[in-house]
Copies of this chain bind each other. A is one copy, B any other.
Amino acid sequence: MIVILKQNHDPKQLDELRAWLEEQNVAIQANYGVHSTVLGLIGDTAAIDSDLIEALDIVETVKRVSEPYKKANRKFHPENSVIPVGVTTVGGLDFAVMAGPCSVENREQLCEVAHAVKAGGATILRGGAFKPRTSPYAFQGMRESGIDLLLEAKKQTGLPIVTEIMDISHLDAFADVDCIQVGARNMQNFELLKELGHCNTPILLKRGLSSTIQEWLMSAEYIMAGGNENVILCERGIRTFETATRNTLDLSAVPVIKELSHLPIIIDPSHATGISRYVKPLAIAAAAIGADGIMTEVHNNPAKAMCDGPQSLTPAQFAEMMREIQAIVAVRR
């Protein structure tokens, strides 16, 4: 970390800053120039909050020369991480496709969709059991019994399953789940992240609606610091002023993440746009830009499940999208 001091800084305040930095076990190497005084901080600066230093009166600016994340950092792990998810992987040569219904509703619905997405080319079955809902009066998901149905669908189809956790206290119910999803609203639920760092299940970490890429990697670091290095990142749109789509999908995050981190990154075009007819073009763009996979919602019976799925594809639409994605993947690999 490099700290540039203001030109006419108060030497007493500098002494205080030096004393404080030394308490943090950070060595200081100072450059006194005519034009500037620059402190190079040497040692483990990951725990130092650069914002706090930057806000000091005597400090002009602060710049990290090492990122605050270590285990998620490509510098220390140049090879791409390949994350095992049941019988398949995410981050390797194959393009991962997580597909399934928004919510698990009943055995018939789930199994029908599960068979359909497998036939279409999905590699992992998704489905919501615990559902984060903006309204306390809305359906909150089938919860534990939803996970039981997912496990049954897994048995029938052989597809590994991914489903969202909302609170540490539910962790036992996820014992046989192949990949645990942390939703966008919980991306900075640090107590949950810490706890998930102590389990062995791969974690799918969605980006928060207004989280920077660095904050997202720091949340991955929380999980990895606890020992669980199997983290898959998922971009699902950020909140902007535009209202034509529910969120704005930040596809630039793919090359940025590939540069900064070795972790795989997938794209969720269903939640990013909220509108099914935009899902296919964005999924194709995700494959073209080098994402490691996609996550998408598929429903079986648009008539019955009408309100399940303005952002969901039918099995036929899903299969058609998969054919186009495979053509892109063939060119890009």
Contact = CB atoms under 8 A, between A and B. Distances in A.
Interface of A: 2, 4, 6-7, 13, 16-17, 20, 29, 31-36, 38, 40, 42, 44, 46-47, 49, 51-56, 60-61, 63, 65, 68, 132-139, 166-170, 185-186, 188-194, 208-210, 212-215, 218, 221-222, 225-226, 238-246, 248-256, 259, 272-278, 281-282, 284-290, 303-304, 306-308, 310-311, 327-328, 331-332
The 6 closest A-B pairs by CB, nearest first: A55-B310, A35-B40, A210-B210, A288-B288, A167-B191, A47-B137
A213 to B, nearest CB: 5
B212 A190 contact: no
A135 B238 contact: no
Contacts of A253: 244
A331 to B, nearest CB: 5
Contact of A307 (B38, B53, B275, B311): B53
B240 A252 contact: no
A65 B60 contact: yes
Contacts of A138: 47, 49
Contacts of A285: 251, 285-286, 288-289
